Amino acid sequence: MSESLTRQPGPSLLHLDSSADRGSVSRGLTGSFADIWRSAHGAAGYRHRDLSADPVPLVGPAYVALGTRVERHGVVPASRVEALIGDAAEEREWALTRSLIAEVLAADVLLFGVPMYNLAIPAALKAWIDRVSFPGLFTDPDTGESLLRDTRVVVVMARGGGYGPGAPLEGLDFQTPYLRAYFRRLGVAEEHLHFVAAELTRAGDIPTLAGFQGLAAESLAAAREAVTALATRLTEPSLATS
């Protein structure tokens, strides 16, 4: 494989959307972030992946077999994985996986658009997470440190109902705790994790939520403001490339 699994010079943004709705709130918010980023840095370091329109294949038996074999050797650098491939099926799985991991490691900022589906994240995003979570490839084999320790992660969420303090569905938000735990386990620093949520996004078209349209508008306005502030701050060279 020719792509590098190391961070490239210059600020870079990997933008991933996972909503099946082309006009979704999460897509609109991540699009605003990306617009601010491109205005500051141009398009050279920007990459967009639509996980709904172009889904990542689910991991299969060959992925598991290769990952297990690699893990038995401890922390294996990407350059040594090919030597452990056992057959053509494993080679195909590695080709699909390596390119996605390369995108992550090349990015200074990871931007995720995440609608709430059935209290959690979309299957399209989970398929991406399962594939990029190949054993050891986010760990420096020489130091044991995470290769994502300086990466900024921005998760922009949209929820049809209300899940905040005092809401009837409070405590049923399984997006935020899951994604926070996942990225922290990969070694992303807590201070580099940013979560923004727009709630009650279905208040305009679900009759039982009609009384919450004012709160929905306030939540969306606050989310837009937060996304703009984050995009502006993270486009500063000292933050985006540190």
Residue 12 labeled ligand binder: no
In terms of Cβ atoms closer than 10 Å to its own Cβ (0-12, 13-18, 19+), residue 110 is buried
pTM of the model: 0.92
- pLDDT score, position 9: 58
Residue 157 labeled ligand binder: no
Residue 104 labeled ligand binder: no
Lowest mean pLDDT among 15-24, 101-110, 159-168: 159-168
Give residue-wise pLDDT tens across range 55-93. 999 999 999 999 999 999 999 999 999 999 999 999 999
Q: Is residue 6 part of a domain?
A: no
Residue 26 labeled ligand binder: yes
Q: Is residue 99 part of a domain?
A: yes
Q: Is residue 4 part of a domain?
A: no
Nearest CA-CA partner of 110 in 174, 45, 20: 45
Lowest mean pLDDT among 90-94, 117-121, 127-131, 232-236: 232-236
Range of the domain at 41: 13-240
Residue 153 labeled ligand binder: no
Residue 25 labeled ligand binder: yes
Q: Is residue 88 part of a domain?
A: yes
